[in-house]
Amino acid sequence: MRLSRYFLPVLKENPAEAQIVSHRYMLRAGMIKQQAAGIYSWLPLGYRVLKRIEQIVHEEQIRAGHIPLLMPTLQPADLWRESGRYDDYGQEMLRIKDRHERDMLYGPTNEEMITDIFRAHVSSYKDLPLTLYHIQWKFRDEVRPRFGVMRGREFLMKDGYNFDVDRDAALHAYNRHMVSYLRTYERMGLTAIPMRAASGPIGGDNTHEFLVLANTGESEVFYDDRVTGLKLGQREIDYDDRAQVAGVCEEFTTLYARTDETHDGALFDQIPEEHRKVGRGIEVGQIFYFGTKYSESMGATVVTKDGSKVPVEMGSHGIGVSRLLGAIIEASHDDKGIIWPEGVTPFPVGLVNLKQGDAAADAACADLEKALLARGLEPLYDDRDERAGAKFATMDLIGLPWRITVGPRGLTNGVVELTSRRTGQSEEMTPEAAVARIAEIYAAHP
């Protein structure tokens, strides 16, 4: 992509309404535009990151054996009357009437609708286990929408729902989600810690939130800091292996880590003092096991092996897809701008031409662009007729992890410069070597 043809409305000034760094940088880097309180347009750069995050979420869900579908944003109120949540949900639910005066709502979550799909088509244990998920816009009329995409009213969520024949199978689904979420967040360059939490309006007594530690987080968290060193890494997971999956969950949930909702002072005090930490965190996901809460009230049953008819066991599992952009920026930035982890960056590399119009520099940039594209690595090429300083400032703000700088002086020696956004360190090398290095880096971040 050539910057001269792109749509990147970068702001020079700090927007006054932005109180936290991720909101500020998303506005300044031309990623989002607010349309109403808590409702945003996703401009091209922001949209690219959003799609990248969605892609990782899809890949890890599919790897865990979960099946994508798509449900609508608008739902009939009658479904929610069946579960009893239509009245319970309160003012957070956006209620709408259609032209026939039928009560509709903009879905804040989809437990009822997925239960309705299940009961229409599944009636035997032979069709289980089944986990369906989608990535779809939600609406919650939050009292205090704030911090940009962190607490929106309209926001993108991945929500998945498992259906199982008994409690043990449903707990395996819960564990499968925990492990697939750990891998999902790690691929985005994040450390998200599963913490015992409270279930709120979704229900059930078994739930974990995933928190990214950050001073600007909205949740107060209490934890043993050794939990921050745990990594899933590249280990092979067999998602059908109940013991292996449960083992990973145990590894990640044994050390004390809780939100203020479930905090237990006496247990916390047993952690050695040097490891006892109180901090703040951003909730980027939550998983729930709630058994038969919806299947009983909505009549979603299955016939078991011995011929009896039982309400299906369920849980639901959410990832805050749009919130993740904010969380990643909170966790990865400096005073010049964003620093995207390779896994989610909108473009793998920026190409800066120090002297636009210089025949050698223009040709070298065009060749580099072609060579990178041939390897499936689309660069953002700053081909504008601007000062070098302005080009660097834009690249630093939008946070591409790697930059190749091309100038007439380097080219006389046959070299360009490869710079890491994270460390600021530069290295001179031939254009071919720079392309090979970028390819090598991204091979480790599929």
Interface residue list for ligand P5A (CB under 6 A) = 109, 140, 142, 151-152, 155, 157, 159, 202, 283-286, 288, 316-318, 320, 322-323
Closest distance to ligand P5A from the beta carbon of 140 (Å): 5
Give the 3-state secondary structure of residue 313.
strand
Q: Which is nearer to ligand P5A, 37 or 373 (CB)?
A: 37
Closest distance to ligand P5A from the beta carbon of 56 (Å): 15
Cβ-closest position to ligand P5A: 320
Q: Which is nearer to ligand P5A, 326 or 343 (CB)?
A: 326
The residue written with tokens 């400096």 in the block is 334
Q: Which is nearer to ligand P5A, 114 or 248 (CB)?
A: 114
Q: Which is nearer to ligand P5A, 253 or 419 (CB)?
A: 253
**Is 36 within 8 Å of 145 (Cβ atoms)?**
no
CB burial of residue 19 (10 Å; 0-12, 13-18, 19+): exposed
**DSSP H or E segment with residue 253:** helix 242-253
Q: Chain-centre distance of CA 398, in angstroms? A: 18
**Is 158 within 8 Å of 61 (Cβ atoms)?**
yes
Closest distance to ligand P5A from the beta carbon of 68 (Å): 14
Dihedral sign of CA atoms 34, 35, 38, 40 in order: negative
Which residue, 271, 245, 266, 246, is CA-closest to 256? 271
d(CA 319, CA 331): 17
Q: Which is nearer to ligand P5A, 162 or 332 (CB)?
A: 162
- What is the DSSP secondary-structure string of 274-301? GGEEEEEEEEEEEEEEEETHHHHHHT-E
Q: Which is nearer to ligand P5A, 112 or 369 (CB)?
A: 112
Closest distance to ligand P5A from the beta carbon of 123 (Å): 24
Q: Which is nearer to ligand P5A, 83 or 109 (CB)?
A: 109
Closest distance to ligand P5A from the beta carbon of 90 (Å): 14
Q: Which is nearer to ligand P5A, 1 or 212 (CB)?
A: 212
The residue written with tokens 């990147």 in the block is 8
Say which amino acid occupies 356: Q
Give the 3-state secondary structure of residue 143.
coil
Q: Which residues contact 201 (CB under 8 A, 6 or more apart)?
A: 85, 88, 89
Which residue, 74, 211, 53, 97, is CA-closest to 154? 74
Closest distance to ligand P5A from the beta carbon of 63 (Å): 19
Q: How many residues does the chain have?
A: 446
Q: Which residues contact 54 (CB under 8 A, 6 or more apart)?
A: 135, 156, 158, 321
Closest distance to ligand P5A from the beta carbon of 39 (Å): 11
Closest distance to ligand P5A from the beta carbon of 368 (Å): 38
Closest distance to ligand P5A from the beta carbon of 159 (Å): 4
**Is 210 within 8 Å of 226 (Cβ atoms)?**
no
Q: Give the max Cα distance, the chain.
A: 81
Q: Which is nearer to ligand P5A, 323 or 391 (CB)?
A: 323
The structure tokens listed for 419 are 């710079």
Q: Which is nearer to ligand P5A, 2 or 146 (CB)?
A: 146
Closest distance to ligand P5A from the beta carbon of 433 (Å): 41
